[in-house]
Amino acid sequence: MRPVPPDPLALLRVPGPAEAYPAEPSDEEVARQVGLDPRQVVRFDMNTLGGGPLPGAARGLAAYSAARLVEYGDQAYRRLRAAISGVTGVPPQRIVPGAGADELIRLVTGMTVGPGDAVLVPTPTFPMFAVEARLAGAEVIEVARREPRERQPVERIGSAARVNRARLVWLCSPNNPTGDAFPRAEIEAMVAALPAIVVVDAVYQELAEASLGLGPEALSLVPLQDRHPNLVVLRSLAKAYGLAGARVGYLVVAEALATRFDASRLPLAIGGPSEAAAIGALDEPEVARERHRLMVGERRRLSDALAARGWEVLPSVTNFVLVRPPTDAARLADALLKRGLVLRSWSSGPLREWLRITARAPHENDRLLTALAEVGERP
């Protein structure tokens, strides 16, 4: 009698269907869908840094020898850590590199929670926090804003974390998709009060610095880690350094956690070409800051233009803005998509009447404003 093969789904640790990250279509897919050349597609939906690659990143990548592709790189990432340390002032041993923020979200989640544990996620926010928590078998406790205009519900977040005994709390600051940020004093109060690992996703911090006209020290959460070692800071080069395609991110952890986190990360997750581009970009921080100022200026220009047209525009300290048009958001997004202009929209939930728009290069933003006049965004 032939043995009955096991059900492979029953062998998986996480029961039921896993919630996947809502992936956006590629430029080629968008172009094929609307009958355009991929070069005509402009992504206002990805929050990436407009204006093309930073010169230092391009030089770093060009200098990477193809002959090195057959060899492994430095597993300790000594040069990359030194470059990050030079920009942030964080000791290299407290920097944990990874293949973009996504891998590091998985690393933190897997090290902190498992089946039966609770993870607290204020919403709306970056979906990967909840996706990775559920993959780890944890329960996701969502603290939702009553509507997008509401300020971050700090008291409700803290209360829900305590009541549900959350082991892991995610705070996105500045927050995607709303563009606002927690005051540092509120973050410190929450970290001090909760017996949990509190991770602040600060991948838009450099853009907040440019928006507020502040230096890196003014918004840095790293000094808090000396008093609150349960605070973990997530950073990325995807947004601020225009390296979304390179997949380079890092955690900043307290000295007490550094060895454990570094031992748990994947070795060589960042490829050699990506590391070279990152080191090149980090070598010119003032060039990056000038780009941040440009993109923040463009975000303000877009916001003012849309507000003048009667749109509701939420305050933002990032390179993107959450807006509510005076007509059906889904219809408007579809009309712009036919012109190769991709905006972030939501088909359901509290954001279904809203759009998120990333500021890009001036000529691309002009193209968007012209298209809005053509399609007629009024009711």
pLDDT at 15: 56
pLDDT at 29: 95
Phi-psi region of 325 (alpha: psi -120 to 50; beta: other; left: phi over 0): beta
Label residue 6 by pLDDT band (50, 70, 90): confident
* Alpha carbons 24 and 236: distance in angstroms, whole number: 20
Is 189's pLDDT higher than 60? Answer: yes
Label residue 378 by pLDDT band (50, 70, 90): low
pLDDT at 14: 64
pLDDT at 16: 54
Token pair 């279904």 in the structure block, residue = 352
Is 18's pLDDT higher than 70? Answer: no
Is 17's pLDDT higher than 70? Answer: no
What integer is the mean pLDDT of 158-182? Answer: 97
pLDDT at 1: 67
Is 379's pLDDT higher than 70? Answer: no
The predicted-structure confidence for 231-263, as pLDDT tens digits, reads as follows: 999 999 999 999 999 999 999 999 999 999 999
Cα 337 to chain centroid, rounded: 23
Reference 113, options 184, 197, 221; nearest CA is: 197
The predicted-structure confidence for 353-377, as pLDDT tens digits, reads as follows: 999 999 999 999 999 999 999 997 6
What integer is the mean pLDDT of 214-230? Answer: 94
266 in Cβ contact with 99 (< 8 Å)? yes
Phi-psi region of 372 (alpha: psi -120 to 50; beta: other; left: phi over 0): alpha
Label residue 217 by pLDDT band (50, 70, 90): confident
What integer is the mean pLDDT of 151-173? Answer: 96
pTM of this prediction?
A: 0.94
279 in Cβ contact with 83 (< 8 Å)? yes
Label residue 339 by pLDDT band (50, 70, 90): very high
5-14, 74-83, 182-191, 201-210: segment of lowest average pLDDT: 5-14
Residue predicted with more confidence, 152 or 274:
274
Reference 275, options 98, 26, 150; nearest CA is: 98
Distances in Å between the alpha carbon of 104 and those of 44, 266, 306? 25, 10, 36
pLDDT above 90 as % of the chain: 89
pLDDT at 24: 84
What integer is the mean pLDDT of 293-317? Answer: 97
pLDDT at 33: 93
